[in-house]
Amino acid sequence: MAKILEGPAMKLFNKWGIPVPNYVVIMDPERLMQLGEANKWLRDSKLVVKAHEAIGGRYKLGLVKIGLNLEEAYEAAKEMIGREIGTAVVRQVIVAEMLEHDAEYYVSIAGNRDGAELLLSNKGGVDIEDNWDTVKRLFIPLDETPSLEKLTETAADAGFTGEVAERVAKIASRLILCFDNEDAQSIEINPLVIRKSDMRFAALDAVMNVDWDARFRHADWDFKPVSEIGRPFTEAEQQIMEIDARIKGSVKFVEVPGGEIALLTAGGGASVFYSDAVVARGGTIANYAEYSGDPADWAVEALTETICQLPNIKHIIVGGAIANFTDVKATFSGIINGFRASKAKGYLDGVKIWVRRGGPNENQGLAAIKKLEDEGFDIHVYDRTMPMTDIVDLALKA
């Protein structure tokens, strides 16, 4: 799953007939003034400026400014671009036409293993969570499309009346088309409004997740996914994502700047377990990583090399629970090759490696990785009898 930002999502809405305000996405405030010369709506409309990043609570952080003229929007963009919020940096803003409206509505769709679920409410906006009891749901089975009559009925159940219910149904039908044809996994419009100027609907905000592995089907996808941790993916993260899309099994990698303990862990549960254990004991992690589902050894090798190149690390924990079907010998072959290649490139000087693993062919795998001691690696190897968190304690006390 890959999250895309509001601008690309609105572009897809336009493609499928879901109205949106006029908008531009800029990285340089000077570009806004240039665009203002070419676009009358920027000169004549009240404007909204929002940080165009995956940052939650933008309004409370001062990253949303409303009711501005062009010059004020320029100043707001200058103020936001380059601002640091935690580990995130605001690199771009979206400037949109501010649409006068009264009521705010909520429309979303999310996929599940049996199909998808459409959600409607006539009480959208920032208070939707407080009005969650007003949300009405319509289950859509796989390979089925609900009729306009059924969608209108659901809209009426959600509190929409008369012509508005019919128009909401049409918006919902277009949202379903967008969802199905753009390989989306979830889409949320909050708020959906009726603008006073012409009484047409418009989606003022968009949250969209797509199946990034399906991008080969979409020649017009000119965007990149965004990380859920409030910053763009790094080059290393994108490289591992590309590998993950090509293999059986899975490899994952997220950088955490400033940490001293790198994690090369097997399985999603164990990966979170080790991350929590390091932090709970006062350590700092340099990354989140996992390999699972018996991935190819070359993929694990690439993940290993990526982790070895993290800056300022003092320890690498190669950890995991007891695997059911991931071949420890095969995956350790990739890890061993990755360690050797990294050492040959000048990495791993002064880095201690801690290994704890169990599973199919564990004895052969552990014996092979232990031989790295003979090649000058500072490596400490333990089998399934070692409690999982003990190598964290050993690393922190080393």
DSSP 358: E
**Mean per-residue pLDDT over the chain, rounded:** 92
- DSSP codes, 1-31: -EEE-HHHHHHHHHHTT-----EEEESSHHH
- 135 pLDDT higher than 90: yes
* Tokens encoding 314: 């003092």
59 vs 147, which has greater pLDDT? Answer: 147
Domains and CATH numbers, the chain: 22-97 (3.30.1490.20), 103-213 (3.30.470.20), 235-397 (3.40.50.261)
- 324 pLDDT higher than 80: no
Distance, CA of 28 to chain centre: 25
Q: Is 347 left (phi over 0), alpha (psi -120 to 50) or beta?
A: beta
- 233 pLDDT higher than 90: no
In this structure, are residues 367 and 374 in contact, taking their beta carbons and an 8 Å threshold?
Answer: no
Q: Is 350 left (phi over 0), alpha (psi -120 to 50) or beta?
A: left
| Reported confidence tier of residue 230, pLDDT bands at 50, 70, 90 | low
Q: Read off the pLDDT of residues 362-379 as tens digits, 9 standing for 90 and up.
A: 899 999 999 999 999 999
Terminal C-alpha separation, the chain: 39
In this structure, are residues 360 and 248 in contact, taking their beta carbons and an 8 Å threshold?
Answer: no
R_g (Cα) of the chain, nearest Å: 25
Distances in Å between the alpha carbon of 50 and those of 25, 45, 364?
10, 16, 55
Distance, CA of 302 to chain centre: 22
Mean pLDDT value of segment 76-102: 92
Mean pLDDT value of segment 101-110: 95
Give start and end residues of each alpha helix (H) in the chain.
6-15, 29-38, 40-44, 70-80, 148-157, 162-181, 235-246, 268-280, 297-308, 328-344, 362-370, 390-397
Predicted pLDDT of residue 71:
97
Predicted pLDDT of residue 228:
66
| Reported confidence tier of residue 229, pLDDT bands at 50, 70, 90 | low
| Reported confidence tier of residue 217, pLDDT bands at 50, 70, 90 | very high
Q: Read off the pLDDT of residues 265-276 as tens digits, 9 standing for 90 and up.
A: 998 888 899 999
Nearest in space to 300 (alpha carbons), one of 268, 327, 254, 335? 335
Nearest in space to 261 (alpha carbons), one of 250, 251, 276? 276
Element (H, E) at 316: strand 315-322
Mean pLDDT value of segment 44-73: 92
Element (H, E) at 64: strand 64-68
Q: Which of 14-28, 44-58, 287-301 has the highest mean pLDDT?
A: 14-28
Predicted pLDDT of residue 85:
84
| Reported confidence tier of residue 393, pLDDT bands at 50, 70, 90 | very high
- 223 pLDDT higher than 90: no
Q: How far apart are CA 155 and CA 147, in angstroms?
A: 12
- 289 pLDDT higher than 70: yes
- H/E/C letters for each residue in 257-293? CCCCEEECCECHHHHHHHHHHHHHCCCCECEEEEEEC
- 127 pLDDT higher than 70: yes
Nearest in space to 264 (alpha carbons), one of 340, 348, 354? 354
